[in-house]
Structure 1
């Protein structure tokens, strides 16, 4: 059994957050249940933990943010992930999105390109709660060939295109979700299904993400 600080007040704040996300249009009950169980305050930078259940993004250092819970819920719902499926995440950040997927029963393989964030993830108190969430240091644009293939791929940064490398690591019938950056002020969420005849593209709402970079630092 693992123990972590999670007060009745914080649990109530999570329930309020889930109700807010539901009002904004997220209807997938499995996603909402996962958001309601993952202790977001454990993923926040010092000084922001009191705002953990405000539906907003917050800095986590290194020029990165922990995504808005609604955005996490939106991308997760688009993935349509099932328990036991293997998910490749590009951009670990705080680890919150990976934990939500892990709480839904997915095996998550998350790649982080910023060394400081990757090493920070190794010491987080919530790690034992999600034994099927694995973090790797590298360039997410290259995917994770040593762990491929995957049922789902999720990109958590604004991408100007989608990599054929990532599609090659996706199983037939799987999908890739990404915020597509076409140079505008916001990015449109896309879902790409890998089908026998090629790739089928679906377009959804607009969001704001930090840009996807190449290489490591």
Structure 2
């Protein structure tokens, strides 16, 4: 049933419009394999259509805008001033909007938040994490200090240690910088100690995957 399938598709009003046009006219829709090595006329026409559709992205000022088929939208369709009609998964849209809004108010942590040294801060965080004292939302929720265990950066997932250090999109940039710095320092130290290239592989692999979903780094998560 095409109508059932269309209910969850992005920009479904356009598809409904096309289907109505196909129903009201003698238009016949035929499947043509795209991005293939076929040289048939339908395949070549499909290639041409893809080519001109892609090229049109570079000439938007010269391209006519298709009318918005509000007459084929759902009976109740969300609308925002910035994005217009929302014909996508509304839960996903709201989730991304919340993360974007929260990121506007994020402040960078102080350069030296504990005893004026990165190593001291790292030691304290590791101590709290290993002893189950790191104040993540799931820990505070279990102790009835919070009413919700979900991430406080509004990404809807449970906020545990693994989520903060590995998954939460709000910290992606920090994780990337930290991973690059860890890899660089590890590689430099191994070279300084004269460790052979063959023996460096495992250590560098571990350093590179420290901020990723790796069972050797996060054994308790699996």
Same fold judged by TM-score > 0.5?
no
Q: Which has the larger radius of gyration?
A: 2
Q: Which has the higher contact order (CA 8 A, sep 6+)?
A: 1
Give the number of the structure whose residues are more often helix, by fraction: 2
Provide TM-score, normalisation by structure 1. 0.20
